[in-house]
Amino acid sequence: MSRHPYESEAYEAGSIDGCYWATTCDTPPAPPLEGELRAGVAVIGAGFTGLSAALHLARTGADVAVLDRHGPGWGASGRNGGFACIGGSKLDRGAMNARHGTAARVEWVRAERAAIDLVAQLAGELDLEIDRHSDGEAMLAHSQREMAAIRASAAGTAAEYGTTAAVLEPGDLAARGLAAEGMHGGLHLRLGFGINPRKYVAGLARGALAAGVRIHGGSPVSRIRREAGGYLLETPSGRLRAEKILLATNGYASDDLPDWMRARFLPVQSSVLVSRVITPEERAAQGWTSDLMAYDSRHLLHYFRMLPEGRFLFGMRGGIRWTPATHAAIRRQMRADFDAMFPAWTGVETPYFWSGLANLTRRLTPYVGQIGGWPGAVAAFGYHGNGVAMASWSGLQAAKLLLGEAHELPGFVMAEPRRFELGRARRLALAGAYLWYGLLDRR
Ligand SMILES: Cc1cc2nc3c(=O)[nH]c(=O)nc-3n(C[C@H](O)[C@H](O)[C@H](O)COP(=O)(O)OP(=O)(O)OC[C@H]3O[C@@H](n4cnc5c(N)ncnc54)[C@H](O)[C@@H]3O)c2cc1C
């Protein structure tokens, strides 16, 4: 029995039901691990982190086996919003400078940029059709106060990221086809793009298979044991011995795989609605005709974009329990928010709805580094809801760590993650945080 922070439904195969992406492409078949096998490196988790790592490892000649509880892309990687964007940490610029120094901040920004480039590079190398669109992303100000902050920081943000940014004054939004109710302007940062994440993760899996990686779905690892020369991983139908391991389970991790993980991570729910195809007339009526991906400046933010196929994707974080009743409530709340922000579309159906688990760390920065004192054992997790790019990059860096190659990880990303307070009940602290952020967002 795995010690997971959420109700068991969150970890069952059906928790991805209702996901629009699943209707757009298949992931490659991945038979369960059967019997006794060996590998040079065992990767647990077939999402962006695990598959990006596996691909790099295999390209250097390593013998790699990936095990997943369900299959490639079943976790957050196959069900996210598809924003390949900067992010991965929840520490703001000032706090990161204060805590880790400006040099570390520069390294981090470089990593954020490199992560986006890596997604584009992998898609190019593997010849993936991932429905890319959007020249950067827009942050829309939900208050005058946020708009003032955007005006004050736009030039600095653009310079820090080495790109251009356009301040969108309130009157610019409709002209740019970005009219959402209650927004006071925004910032268009030319960095990042939107993708179909399932096509991307399926492509990574196919690329890894072609490079010689073995991928086993239906293979939940129940125990990892150290033994002479490496590790023994147990699943219901097999055992895998490997010299090295990578734990790439992110929000789907459990507190006992291995015990070192206990309370070092905090999964958070994120949920998505996808509409039916919205006609050009309906888009014009709302004033949202842009293909730019966007989010609002709330702490409990909404993220949204018009997909190339003309459906609108609308996402939001929140929820501290995973039950059919709480999901019905989240869906109602999201639909109410969607109607409030896009009033011309109150008649537009949103037939697709699903949720998944992203992941936080106590220090609010990702972790890529050793598992306790275990030699040749690495974990990579905690992308704070921005892992399309950052998980891909962290997987690559984790592979480099395992190979002893030069890596680009800032020192603070490799510092052992602290444990959250409240142990297994730690998600309950989210209730207070969500309440507090909700109040802040009303200012
Ligand atoms: C709804 C939603 C929307 C999001 N939107 C965005 C976005 O727009 N942009 C962005 O950058 N990020 C977004 N994210 C975050 C992003 O999806 C994640 O950060 C990223 O996918 C993490 O990748 P991963 O490979 O580390 O983990 P995952 O993709 O979650 O994969 C972990 C895998 O580990 C497997 N696993 C767990 N335990 C075991 C075990 N014991 N044995 C075997 N296998 C196991 C699981 O089955 C799972 O497949 C979103 C997340 C969610 C949930």
pLDDT, tens digit, 9 for 90 and up, residues 32-82: 999 999 999 999 999 999 999 999 999 999 999 999 999 999 999 999 999
52 Cα–ligand 1 center, Å? 13
CA dist list (Å): 49 to 46, 107, 137, 191, 387: 7, 20, 23, 21, 9
How far does the centroid of ligand 1 lie from the alpha carbon of residue 394, in Å? 13
Task: Pick from 44, 249, 355, 396 the residue to mutate for probing ligand 1's pocket: most ligand atoms within 8 Å of its CB.
Answer: 249
Whole-number Å distance between alpha carbons of 323 and 10: 8
Kindly give the distance from the C-alpha atom of residue 357 to the centroid of ligand 1, in angstroms, as a whole number: 7
Q: Which residues fall within 8 angstroms of residue 439, CB to CB, at 6 or more apart? A: none
- The answer to whether the predicted template modeling score (pTM) of the entire model surpasses 0.95 is yes
In this predicted structure, the answer to whether residue 439 has a pLDDT above a threshold of 80 is no
Question: By alpha-carbon position, which residue is closest to atom 18 of ligand 1?
Answer: 387
Distance CA 390, CA 172 (A): 31
| Mutation test residue for ligand 1: of 83, 85, 250, 378, the one with most atoms within 8 Å of CB | 250
CA of 251 to the centre of ligand 1 (A): 6
Enumerate residues lining ligand 1, CB below 6 A. Answer: 44-50, 67-70, 74-77, 79-83, 85, 220-221, 248-252, 257, 270-272, 315, 356-358, 383, 385-389, 391
Protein residue with least CA distance to atom 35, ligand 1? 45
DSSP 391-440: HHHHHHHHHHHHHT------GGGGSPPPPPTTGGGGGGHHHHHHHHHHHH
User: CA nearest 51: which of 31, 30, 33, 32?
Assistant: 30
Mean pLDDT value across residues 213-234: 97
> Beta strands of 35-129 (E only): which ranges?
35-44, 64-67, 83-84
Supply the residue whose CA is at minimum distance from atom 53 of ligand 1. Answer: 356
**Mind listing the domains of the chain with CATH numbers?**
27-81+198-265+361-425 (3.50.50.60), 137-190+267-360 (3.30.9.10)
Atom of ligand 1 nearest to the CA of 71: 49
Distance 2 CA to ligand 1 centre (A): 17
Cα of 313 from ligand 1 centre, angstroms: 18
Which atom of ligand 1 is nearest to 356's Cα?
53
User: For 162-201, how does the pLDDT look when each residue is reduced to its tens digit (9 = 90+)?
Assistant: 999 999 999 999 999 999 999 999 999 999 999 999 999 9
Ligand 1 centre distance from Cα of residue 382 (Å): 10
Q: State the maximum Cα–Cα separation within the chain, in Å, rounded to a whole number.
A: 67
Task: Give the pLDDT confidence score for residue 27 in this predicted structure.
Answer: 97
Q: Measured between alpha carbons, how far is 176 from 246 in angstroms, rounded to an integer?
A: 45
pLDDT of residue 148: 97
**Mean pLDDT across 347-375:** 97
> Which of 199, 208, 173 is closest to 187 using CA atoms?
173
